[in-house]
Amino acid sequence: MSENSLFTPARHAAEFVAGVDEAGRGCLAGPVVAGACILPGEYDLPGLNDSKKLTAARRETLYDLIREQAVAWAVGVSWAPEIDRVNILQATFLAMGRAVRSLRRTPRFLRIDGNQRIPAHALRLDVPQEWVIKGDGLVPAISAASILAKTFRDRLMVKLGRRYPGYGLETHMGYGTEAHMAAIRKLGPCPQHRLTFRGVKPEEAAPPRQGSLF
């Protein structure tokens, strides 16, 4: 647990504490997605853990179980144009704020994965919060939020892969794999690419021009 909060979340009933995490922050394409989740005092979520440590099949199973058992859950999205406009950190905060505000029950406390709280302009709620480094593997509510964010985003990327063929978005989920970088160089960026990211900037991603013989 981090030591940066004003008071300890353990003093609150589990039903009023929301975990928050994001997925897709380091990608070259697609949105950054945040999940927020309030778990009940008792739940049955076998294998609940950091989404990155789970197989896709296990995440899919837990995704459905979390939505069935959670007191409240939600996701928030920030798309590529907004990421380019405000930068990825601020876009992540905006997505987190949207997820928290979309919960059907307003939490009394937030636990955020990472090392920063959600700024007031992005959260727009007067809710105490603390950050927890590697919280997605330590705090069940954050683990659940990470699974919600990752699974929801992966499903989006599969749909975007069909809409924008040739980039393989449905396989690498927008991360900067060698195949993805090669596709950007060949085809140029699509509307779902983050144009301010290194390797995607138009001057970097444009297909090479044929040299003139004369």
Residues 109-134 pLDDT 10s:
999 999 999 999 999 999 999 999 99
pLDDT band with cut points at 50, 70 and 90 for residue 204: low
pLDDT of residue 11: 41
- Closest C-alpha to 154, from 136, 169, 133, 132: 169
Q: pLDDT, tens digit, for every residue of 45-75?
A: 999 999 999 999 999 999 999 999 999 999 9
Specify whether 16 is located in the same domain as 83.
Answer: yes
DSSP state of 173: T
Residue 2: per-residue pLDDT: 38
- Position 4 in a domain: no
Asked if the model's pLDDT at residue 147 lies above 60, the reply is yes
Total domains, the chain: 2
Residues 147 and 42 in one domain: yes
Q: Are residues 153 and 23 in contact, defined by beta-carbon separation less than 8 angstroms?
A: yes
> Could you tell me where the beta strands, DSSP code E, fall in the chain?
17-23, 32-38, 72-78, 109-113, 129-132
Report whether pLDDT(16) > 50. Answer: yes
E strands, 65-128, in order: 72-78, 109-113
Residue 183 shares a structural domain with residue 147: no
Asked, for residue 101, whether it belongs to a domain, the answer is yes
Q: Say what the pTM is.
A: 0.88
Same domain, 80 and 118: yes
Q: Would you say residue 179 has pLDDT above 90?
A: yes
Q: Is 212 inside a domain boundary?
A: no
pLDDT beyond 90 at 7: no
Q: Are residues 174 and 149 in the same domain?
A: no
Q: Are residues 99 and 124 in the same domain?
A: yes
146 in the same domain as 177: no
Are 132 and 140 a contacting pair, CB within 8 Å?
no
71 and 141 in a single domain? The answer is: yes
Q: Is residue 1 part of a domain?
A: no
Q: Give the residue numbers spanning the domain of 192.
A: 169-205
